[in-house]
């Protein structure tokens, strides 16, 4: 009865997960790097050192902070959408997602060594990472990805050319 259920669920959820991972992958490294630059400020560097020294249970709790901290903004965005302010609501959701991803990425960098002390995390994280990397490799090899990448590079070159021309005027 349930023999093909796993295949069907994988067929249904893999594209959804791929889209989520695409966003996370796009933003994870650059957003974490942006927050990493804040280490130049003494208070920020001190906080990062303290977070990196947390025991595993506290590190796990710290990873919840971006979700909990941005929940009011997300609820406000949904309220705005419900009351007809679609553009503002969606903009707030996007900004909240970007901020949340930035903080989650940086916090994960800081807490990963502590999290690896959990047996379940040490067992499942490498499997998750391998699966995610494999999925991303398939996406990057796709014709659509290659076309988007080529278009992005062409757009960047065009913007640089236009900016150079404007700078000369």
Same-domain pairing of 93 and 165: no
Mean pLDDT score across all residues of the chain = 87
Same-domain pairing of 167 and 105: no
Q: Per-residue pLDDT tens for 16-42?
A: 777 777 777 777 788 888 888 998 899
Same-domain pairing of 109 and 27: yes
CA separation for the pair 99, 48 (Å, rounded): 17
Does the pTM surpass 0.85? The reply is: no
Give the number of domains in the chain: 2
Q: What is the mean pLDDT of residues 137-154?
A: 87
Same-domain pairing of 55 and 96: yes
3-class SS at 107?
Answer: helix
Same-domain pairing of 63 and 124: no
On the question of pLDDT at 4 being above 90, the answer is: no
Q: CB–CB of 32/109 below 8 Å?
A: yes
What percent of the chain is predicted at pLDDT more than 90?
A: 45
Same-domain pairing of 85 and 165: no
Domain span at residue 169 reads 119-169
On the question of pLDDT at 56 being above 60, the answer is: yes
Residue 109: HSE in the Cβ half-sphere, 13 Å Cα cutoff: 16
Q: CB–CB of 66/81 below 8 Å?
A: no
């Amino acid at each position: 009865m349930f023999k093909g259920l796993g295949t069907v669920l994988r067929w249904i959820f893999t594209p959804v997960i791929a889209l989520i991972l695409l966003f996370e992958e796009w933003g994870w490294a650059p957003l974490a790097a942006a927050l990493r630059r804040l280490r130049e400020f003494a208070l920020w560097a001190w906080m990062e050192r303290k977070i990196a020294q947390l025991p595993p249970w506290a590190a796990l709790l710290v990873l919840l902070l971006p979700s909990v901290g941005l929940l009011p903004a997300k609820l406000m965005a949904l309220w705005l959408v419900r009351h007809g302010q679609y553009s503002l609501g969606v903009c707030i959701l996007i900004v909240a997602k970007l901020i949340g991803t930035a903080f989650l990425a940086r916090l994960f960098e800081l807490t990963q060594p502590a999290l690896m002390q959990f047996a379940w995390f040490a067992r499942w994280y490498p499997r998750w990472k391998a699966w995610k990397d494999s999925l991303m490799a398939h996406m990057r090899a796709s014709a659509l990805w290659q076309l988007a990448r080529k278009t992005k590079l062409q757009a960047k070159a065009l913007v640089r050319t236009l900016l150079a021309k404007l700078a000369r005027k």
